[in-house]
Amino acid sequence: MNYLPEVIEIAFQAGAAIMKIYNEGDFGVEMKSDNSPLTLADKAAHDIIVRGLKSTGIPVLSEEADEEVSYSIRKDWEQLWIVDPLDGTKEFIKRNGEFTVNIALVENGVPLMGVVYAPALKKMYYGSMNNGAFVIEGDSSTDKAIAIGQNQFPDTFTMVGSRSHGSPETEAYIEEMKAKHGDVSFVASGSSLKFCLVAERKAHAYPRFAPTMEWDTAAGHAVLLAAGGNVVVWPDKTELKYNREQLRNPWFLATFA
């Protein structure tokens, strides 16, 4: 069944709720047990998404769920939604616009479909296996969708990386690419937009050698897969899978290579 139109609408609704709080300015910031921030926008988007996906009958794994579902239950889920209602909460608080709504449909560990919506930037990225990847520049599904993944890469080897979560290992990889390609350009970006920049071929690679969780990556991974790219565990170069016992991701590289 094609859930994309339904999920795109849900993401637009969640984005509208996020922007209402963003524009009002009272974020209601709390700190979670892992010392990461939680805002009223995270909660509002979570409620909209979970309510919207309920009709599909497919279980939801969300960063902002009240309780984490144990692997003893999840291991029997052939399909699940992996959701980050507000990816890039730090970027949201900084008010730089680089935050997203992430919704992915995963089947047997593979992200088949994904939606990444950046409401402050008015960009909706989406894609599904065998149907390609697209971007809508606007805040409504009636706006024109443009296919991505067919553009020419920049002449200079370009990498995209985290604006808030760098690491010495990432810096070492950048130096390695400089030795291989000569001139190298680095673009900093927040949230899962990094996957989308690779999917649009605005960057050659997104190395992530620092902690992430499955809900941080599943939707962006799906968009990149739909555009013809891939995400591999680094340095093993095996395909990154989902709904694992440990929800923390290993290091990975997102690229077209």
Q: Structural domain tally of the chain?
A: 2
What's phi and psi for 232, nearest 5 deg? -120, 145
- The per-residue pLDDT of the chain, averaged, comes to 91
| Same-domain check for residues 32 and 142 | yes
| Same-domain check for residues 112 and 211 | no
Integer CA distances (angstroms), 230 to 141, 152, 159, 181, 217, in order: 26, 17, 15, 21, 12
Distance CA 174, CA 3 (A): 38
Q: What is the pLDDT of residues 178-206, one digit of tens each?
A: 999 988 998 889 899 999 999 999 999 99
Distance CA 34, CA 46 (A): 19
- The domain that contains 164 carries what CATH number? 3.40.190.80
The length of the chain is 257
Range in 35-44, 142-151, 199-208, 233-242 the model is least confident about: 35-44
Q: Is the pLDDT of residue 231 over 80?
A: yes
| Same-domain check for residues 207 and 232 | yes
Structure confidence at residue 5 (pLDDT): 94
Quickly count: other Cβ atoms within 10 Å of residue 243's Cβ: 23
Integer CA distances (angstroms), 104 to 98, 149, 200, 205, 240, in order: 19, 19, 18, 21, 14
Among the candidates 97, 122, 148, a domain finishes at 148
pTM, to two decimals: 0.94
Q: What is the pLDDT of residues 74-105, one digit of tens each?
A: 999 999 999 999 998 888 888 888 999 999 99
